Structure 1
């Protein structure tokens, strides 16, 4: 095992171990010297090497002395020896870290942590110059939640990563998946059930969300067409430039009675703009959000929204990583359609 240490001149000896001016890593060699055992025996115990007939009493002595001296495993050396880093790298698009995504990642992280793996996320930024994390960490598995280029795949393989999934040919294929658009269909169906026949879709002006916002806008048009209702406008709005207030005034003038919003932030923006324009919600304009963030129930009027099974998606992501890392059974299909409408004041008749 490689154990590179930066050592200072010893100033004292305590327990058979030199005490230095600077703290240094306690090694297996230090534990072996303190106990008068061979380095190999101590290494077998600390690494839990299979196939070694070491007495239980010796194992207990080694573990107790390692704890007393403050021994910590040298993870890089262990990874080099075992050929595994116990790291799962998740490559993300350049998305804001919003409520649903955080919940998904937290769940996946717990699933992997229980199995002894660390989940590391890597967000690629357009024009970024940082060295990709797969070259620095040598992860056991790379999961790409975005498209990767042929050059990036070659770079991963050159870094020793053999398990790469999934590889998307186009960014839009990820953003148009049922996981991200099923809720939009539910929004339109809910507004239709409430008696609305002239609808609009409020998108986000955030450039980092453009593709996802466009994907949900297209899903709203599709759902409206299937129901035979009119999606009369689809536009991005922003509270900072007055576009949200202008939009709701125009929608009301055109007889639009309900708005499906890209997410709860855009829905809240729409409600506020309607109120500033002197319109009542939901009397003059019904509004429904997406993601069911904690904010949705705090506002007045409270926001109807779409609840996505972010926990189930995180569980699927973690189990998918374990399938790739350890050949565990392939998990069931992701909970694409596990979305539900949470009805609150902003759409309730």
Structure 2
């Protein structure tokens, strides 16, 4: 016997159950501002919706508002490590508390174009890990996207800046300089897709060395394998003034350096101090345990969500706050 398909509960059903107009149901369930609806009526609508198991149609809300409740997050095809995963998890939860759904899209020639994606889901906001093309941003805003936010410093000033990574590199270098290291190296990631993250961190390390009257860090690209790291270490140790302390782009690169040091027979931290960034769970498990910069992803996500939701609501976005309180040095044995 065929299973009977249950009819979807509509707002008209809720209106009949609560004894109110359908428009009142819409105002209450969509939390429409500036409506003088008595609390008793509002509660009657909510109770009726709960009894009937009413779920508002996302498609209908999109038609009414001209946009969905989706925040579209554009990612490049870079390795999603623990730190990126932690931030995305916090963003998902924080947007959810605001009634918004975070949807991620990896921008790559092998998948659907970004234009097709945002046209189809009509997002309330677009969150990007790289600068957005000016023409694309204008098209998004004309289509009804309320906010186009970037998660790092956009040097031409077009896009909203909600995250500044140069602080991380500065803190790394300052820690090494404070420990007495006068020649600093920088281990740069090999993946081109990570450049937008790596450049600000390197700039921060350069600024710290300049402020201390030291030479700019000697930069080597380090792949995530011991041989590549060993080659970089041998180069640093062969300089007329050998590098004695290295800022690694992140903890994975720092772990490669620790493995490479064993190949090169260089003692960490006795001959070479290493400091990472992100404080991934494995950072405490390396040998020696890794000194690193921890990032408060909960606070970081809160700031991003506050910026985006203000724009979606048509409010003035909060000022970009000093990022100092987002980052903490976790001192272990490697530096």
- TM bucket by the smaller chain? 0.7 to 0.9
Q: 1:270: how far off?
A: 0.4
Change over 3 Å in CA distance of 1:315–1:261 after alignment to 2: same
Q: 1:264: how far off?
A: 0.6
Of 94, 97, 111, the residue aligned with 2:80 is 97
Aligned residues: 323
Query: CA RMSD for the aligned pairs?
Result: 3.7
What's the counterpart of residue 315 of structure 1?
A: 302
Q: What's the TM-score once normalised by structure 1's chain length?
A: 0.77
Change over 3 Å in CA distance of 1:310–1:173 after alignment to 2: farther
Q: What's the TM-score once normalised by structure 2's chain length?
A: 0.80
Greater Cα offset, 147-156 or 288-297: 147-156
Instruction: Indicate if the aligned counterparts of 2:225 and 2:256 stay in contact, CA closer than 8 A.
Output: no
What's the counterpart of residue 210 of structure 1?
A: 195
Q: Secondary structure at the match of 1:77?
A: helix
CA distance, structure 1, for counterparts of residue 189 and residue 96 of structure 2? 35
Q: Secondary structure at the match of 2:332?
A: coil
What's the counterpart of residue 192 of structure 1?
A: 177
Unaligned 5+ residue runs, structure 1? 1-10, 12-19
CA distance, structure 1, for counterparts of residue 166 and residue 98 of structure 2? 31
Of 203, 207, 228, the residue aligned with 2:213 is 228
Of 230, 236, 242, the residue aligned with 1:245 is 230
Q: Is 1:135 matched up with 2:119?
A: yes
Q: 1:211: how far off?
A: 3.8
CA distance, structure 2, for counterparts of residue 289 and residue 137 of structure 1? 38
Change over 3 Å in CA distance of 1:273–1:232 after alignment to 2: same
Instruction: Indicate if the aligned counterparts of 1:135 and 1:155 stay in contact, CA closer than 8 A.
Output: no
CA distance, structure 2, for counterparts of residue 190 and residue 60 of structure 1? 55
Of 63, 74, 85, the residue aligned with 1:80 is 63
CA distance, structure 1, for counterparts of residue 158 and residue 43 of structure 2? 58
Deviations 1:193-219 (A, max 9, x none): 111112211111112113432443343
Q: 1:232: how far off?
A: 5.9
CA distance, structure 1, for counterparts of residue 177 and residue 149 of structure 2? 39
Change over 3 Å in CA distance of 1:171–1:241 after alignment to 2: farther
Of 29, 48, 60, the residue aligned with 2:28 is 48
CA distance, structure 2, for counterparts of residue 278 and residue 29 of structure 1? 72
Change over 3 Å in CA distance of 1:294–1:256 after alignment to 2: same
Q: Secondary structure at the match of 2:164?
A: helix
Change over 3 Å in CA distance of 1:63–1:232 after alignment to 2: closer
Unaligned 5+ residue runs, structure 2? 30-34
1:156-175 pair list within 5 angstroms: 156-165=140-149
Q: 1:47: how far off?
A: 6.5
Larger Cα-atom Rg? 1
Instruction: Indicate if the aligned counterparts of 2:18 and 2:48 stay in contact, CA closer than 8 A.
Output: no
CA distance, structure 2, for counterparts of residue 322 and residue 267 of structure 1? 36
Of 98, 113, 135, the residue aligned with 2:96 is 113
1:266-345 pair list within 5 angstroms: 266-328=253-315, 330-338=317-325, 339-345=327-333
Change over 3 Å in CA distance of 1:241–1:292 after alignment to 2: closer
